[in-house]
Amino acid sequence: MKSSRSLALVSLFAALMAVFGLIPKIDLPLGVPITLQTLGVMLAGCLLGPRRGLQAMLLFLAAVALGLPLLSGGRGGFGVFLAPSAGYLLAWPVGAWVTGMLMSALPGSTPRGTALSAFLASAVGGLLTVHVFGVIGLVNIAHLSWTQAFFGTLVFVPGDLIKCGVCALVVHTVARGLPDWHFGGRALK
């Protein structure tokens, strides 16, 4: 029963990433668009935990690599992993894992405390981790200098902080509505 529940949750969050991909992207001269899909990375880590969050992102990226146009703007195929945004995409599984690890380690005895933990976990996993990989991708794929890549990725930070807040609100709502939910996947073994 637990394995079928795990499979369902992983598939559900991979599908959620696809739904977030339906929201139009905002193209930037940097070659990396602003999308809502990093919110899915944050939610997967917070709600599923490290292992299932990682699995959901890997499943989603596998579907993208096979050519399904699931990325914002209808992008898909192996070529997206050779574009300037590849570092960000490859960071999604790691970001979900880091977010889930932090979420499972941070306190959360009340809905408000759980939401605060979700904001912090999302900021470190869904924002910092993803941006570190993104900068490395920009340097290696787009051939930007480290300084250009660092300052270029700062454009995304205000929006990503808003996504951290939205993730915290969703987690707060889930914590209030489903008090037995085990954030960070603590009991979803």
Domain edges within the chain = 2-185
188: confidence class by pLDDT, cuts 50, 70, 90: very low
189: confidence class by pLDDT, cuts 50, 70, 90: very low
Nearest Cα to 134, choosing from 55, 1, 31, 14?
31
What value does the mean pLDDT of the chain take?
A: 92
pLDDT for 108 beyond 90 = no
- CATH of 2-185 given 1.10.1760.20, 1.20.58.110, 3.30.450.40, 3.40.50.11810: 1.10.1760.20
- pLDDT (tens digit, 9 = 90+) per residue, 12-49? 999 999 999 998 888 877 778 888 999 999 999 999 99
Mean pLDDT value across residues 4-9 = 91
